Chains A and B, each alone.
Chain A
């Protein structure tokens, strides 16, 4: 069965500092990887997704993520954060047909950007 672990429940960081939000997954079948962002009182929005090929994926708002198959990780990074990046971030995996196309989410990481 697949599972997604986000290693930090909260990450405080100062504005303009770099940040990394960590995500590890486990699955016995091929998976497809995503990061979503949720602003207060809203639904989730796609930040970026992993496509086969390049292990470095660029998303919206200056975020990027690196897929590491050997470590089964998909960490999210941004070189310089803004106050407006304060939100909750979710890592997610979708299994292919043998997994029934289910998408499973991690518990989320709250990013607090301080002035």
Chain B
């Protein structure tokens, strides 16, 4: 019963370094999402993928890229990390659009990223 799996759990980067956050879900969901969580700001949508082969920008896409590798996997890449990208990153998936519009999100446990 893995659900949504994110790796790594923690990461420290220096300014300018790059990295990819990995996310995989085993629930056969069409939709996948990347959020960042910052104190007092809730969760802000970075990018989402409503179905395999499509990706769209969310509220805060600058400085990030995504790849929907297949139905299971949705990765988030930071090409040149900045201190402002220090945050907790959550991946989520959902069946919204497949069967109903009120399907909830299923979240991974997050990746804590610090950029120094």
Do A and B originate from a single complex? yes
* Interface residue ranges, A against B (CB under 8 Å): 6, 9, 30, 32, 34, 36, 42-46, 49-51, 90, 92, 94, 96-97, 100-108
- Alpha-carbon gap, A104 to B33, bound state (A): 11
Residues of chain B from 77 to 110 with CB closer than 8 A to chain A in the complex: 90, 92, 94, 96-97, 101-102, 104-105, 107-110
Check if B66 is an interface residue, CB within 8 A of chain A.
Answer: no
Are A94 and B109 neighbours in the complex by a CB distance under 8 Å?
no
From known contacts A100-B56, A101-B50, A102-B58, infer whether A44 and B105 are also in contact, taking CB-CB under 8 Å: yes
Are B107 and A32 neighbours in the complex by a CB distance under 8 Å?
no
Query: For chain B, which range describes its interface: under 10, 10 to 19, 20 to 34, or 35 or more residues?
Result: 20 to 34
From known contacts A94-B96, A103-B33, infer whether A32 and B45 are also in contact, taking CB-CB under 8 Å: no
- Alpha-carbon gap, A85 to B33, bound state (A): 27
Closest chain B residue, CB of each to CB of A106: B42
* In the complex, per-residue mask of B34-60: 1 if CB is within 8 Å of any chain A CB, else 0: 010000111111001010000010110
Are A43 and B107 neighbours in the complex by a CB distance under 8 Å?
yes
* Interface residue ranges, B against A (CB under 8 Å): 4, 31, 33, 35, 40-45, 48, 50, 56, 58-59, 90, 92, 94, 96-97, 101-102, 104-105, 107-110
From known contacts A90-B43, A94-B96, infer whether A101 and B109 are also in contact, taking CB-CB under 8 Å: no
Picked from B4, B45, B90, the residue with its CB within 8 Å of the CB of A104 is B45
- The 7 A-B residue pairs whose C-beta atoms are closest, nearest first, are A43-B107, A32-B102, A107-B42, A105-B43, A46-B104, A105-B42, A108-B42
B residues within 8 A CB of A107?
Answer: 40-42
From known contacts A42-B109, A94-B96, infer whether A102 and B104 are also in contact, taking CB-CB under 8 Å: no
Are B43 and A100 neighbours in the complex by a CB distance under 8 Å?
no
Q: How far is the CB of B61 from chain A (nearest CB, A)?
A: 12
Q: How far is the CB of B29 from chain A (nearest CB, A)?
A: 11
Q: How far is the CB of A69 from chain B (nearest CB, A)?
A: 15
Are B109 and A100 neighbours in the complex by a CB distance under 8 Å?
no
Are B42 and A43 neighbours in the complex by a CB distance under 8 Å?
no
A residues within 8 A CB of B50?
Answer: 100-101
